[in-house]
Homo-oligomer: A and B are copies of this chain.
Amino acid sequence: MDLIRIYQCFCDRTRLRILHLLARSPLCVCHFQDILGEPQVKVSKHLSYLRSRGMVTATRHQNWMIYSLPNKRSRELEANLKCLQDCVQSDSMFARDLRKLARLCQNCCEPASVFATNKRL
């Protein structure tokens, strides 16, 4: 994963919010739709952009595609994800995203079992 590619992935607000959320938990497309308040096509396209550049991985689970950060991460990616956490501390939008994520998890179940049922999450 080369450095430029990381910055290219980071340089759009929607993608940055997605990555910031994925640093907390694997999520499916509809989670992003809910949390970001963006239309499906937009979310889906940014995820596919990130995926094509190796920035996220995806696995299907029944009807849902579960997106995660890759297990093996380069030093550069680690460093930049950490830096992002730092930078985002005082930003209200990113904070709101995290609050919404927390609420979602409350509403359904534990992160680990989020995808264990085929009901609308």
Contact = CB atoms under 8 A, between A and B. Distances in A.
Interface in A56-83: 75-76, 79-80, 82-83
A32 interface: no
A119 interface: no
A80 B87 CA distance: 9
A7 B4 CA distance: 10
A82 B86 CA distance: 12
A33 to B, nearest CB: 21
A8 B88 CA distance: 16
Interface stretch (A9-17, A36-44, A106-114): A9-17
Contacts of A80: 83, 87
A90 to B, nearest CB: 8
A23 interface: no
A44 to B, nearest CB: 21
Interface of A: 3-4, 7-8, 10-13, 16, 75-76, 79-80, 82-83, 86-88, 91
12 contacts: A3-B16, A3-B87, A4-B11, A4-B13, A7-B16, A8-B11, A10-B11, A76-B87, A79-B86, A80-B87, A82-B83, A83-B83
